[in-house]
A and B are shown apart, each in its own frame.
Chain A
Amino acid sequence: MTLLPTGRARIDELRMVGITKRFPGVLANDGVDFDVRAGEIHALLGENGAGKSTLMRQLYGLYKPDAGEIRLNGAARRFNSPSDAIHAGIGMIHQHFMLVPALTVAENVALGLASSRGPLLDLDRVSKRIEELGERYHLKVQPDAQVWQLSVGEQQRVEILKALYRGAALLALDEPTAVLTPQEVGEFFKVLRRMAEDGHALIFISHKLHEVIDISHRVTVMRDGKVVATHPTAGSTRERLAGEMVGRPILLEYDKPPVPAAAANEVPRLEVEDLHVRGDRGRDALRGVSLSIRSGEILGIAGVSGNGQRELAEALTGLRRVTRGRVRVNGRDLTHATPQQRIAAGQSAIPEERMKDGVVRDFSVSENLILQDHGHAPYSRAGFLNTRAITRDCAALVKDYSVKTPALETPTKNLSGGNIQKLILARELARKPTLLICAQPTRGVDIGASEYIHQRLLEQRQRGMATLLISEDLDELMALSDRIAVMYEGRLMAVLDRADATPAKLGLLMAGVAA
Chain B
Amino acid sequence: MNELFTVPVLLGILYSGVRLATPYLYAALGEMFAQRSGVVNLGVDGIMLMGAFAAFFVVSNTGNLLLGVLAAMLVGLLMGLIMSFVSVNLQAEQGISGIGLYLFGLGLSSLLFKKLSVSTRAIEGFPALPIPVLSDLPEIGDVFFKHNILVYIAFALVPVAAFVLNHTTLGLKVRAAGMKPEAADSLGVSVARVRYLCVTFGSMMAGLAGASLSIGLINLFQENMTSGLGFIAVALVYFGGWTPLGVMIGALLFSMVNALQLWVQVKAIPIPSDLAVMLPYILTIAALVLGRRARQPAALSKPFSRGEN
Contacts and interface: CB of A to CB of B under 8 A. Distances in A.
Contact of A100 (B175, B190, B295): B175
B233 to A, nearest CB: 24
A110 B182 contact: no
A92 B309 contact: no
B117 interface: no
A115 B169 CA distance: 7
B62 interface: no
B146 interface: no
Interface in A45-84: 60, 62-64, 81-84
Interface in A105-145: 107-108, 110-115, 119-121
Main secondary structure of the interface of A (DSSP, over half): loop
Interface string A158-172: 000010001000000
Contacts of B184: 100, 111-112
Nearest to A62: B306
A306 interface: no
A331 interface: no
B309 A112 contact: no
Main secondary structure of the interface of B (DSSP, over half): helix
B180 A112 contact: no
Interface string B266-309: 00000000000000000000000000000100100000001011
B188 A110 contact: no
B180 A101 contact: yes
Interface string B169-201: 111110110011011111111100000000000
Given A92-B186, A99-B183, A120-B169, 6 more contacts: A24-B309, A60-B186, A84-B188, A113-B169, A113-B187, A121-B168
B167 interface: yes
B187 A112 contact: yes
Contacts of B182: 98
B172 A98 contact: no
Nearest to A94: B186
A103 B175 contact: yes
B183 A83 contact: no
A119 B309 contact: no
Nearest to B170: A119
Contact of B173 (A23, A60, A97, A111): A111
A119 B168 contact: yes
A319 interface: no
A102 interface: yes
Interface in B149-164: none
A234 B169 CA distance: 46
Interface residues of A, number: 33
Interface string B193-229: 0000000000000000000000000000000000000
A82 B168 contact: no
A86 interface: yes
A100 B180 contact: yes
6 contacts: A97-B183, A99-B180, A100-B180, A100-B183, A120-B167, A121-B172
A24 B169 CA distance: 38
Given A83-B188, A92-B186, A111 B306 contact: no
Contact of A62 (B169, B295, B308): B308
Contacts of A83: 187-188
Contact of B186 (A64, A98, A119, A121): A98
A120 B168 contact: yes
Contact of B179 (A97, A103, A166): A103
Contacts of A98: 180, 182-183, 186-187
B172 A103 contact: yes
Contacts of B185: 62, 82
Interface in A1-32: 23-24
Given A110-B169, A120-B169, A100 B186 contact: no
Interface in B44-95: none
A107 B183 CA distance: 12
Given A100-B175, A100-B180, A162 B169 contact: no
Given A82-B186, A120-B168, A162-B187, A112 B173 contact: yes
A23 B306 CA distance: 13
Contacts of B172: 103, 107, 110-111, 121
4 nearest A-B pairs in the assembled complex, by CB-CB distance: A83-B188, A112-B187, A98-B183, A112-B189
Nearest to A81: B188
A114 B187 CA distance: 12
Nearest to B179: A100
Given A62-B308, A103-B176, A103-B179, A112 B188 contact: yes
Contacts of B309: 23-24
Contacts of A103: 172, 175-176, 179
A126 to B, nearest CB: 11
A236 to B, nearest CB: 32
B183 A111 contact: yes
Contacts of A97: 183
B262 to A, nearest CB: 40
A108 B189 CA distance: 12
A63 B306 contact: yes
Interface in A473-494: none
B178 to A, nearest CB: 9
Interface in B209-259: none
A411 to B, nearest CB: 22
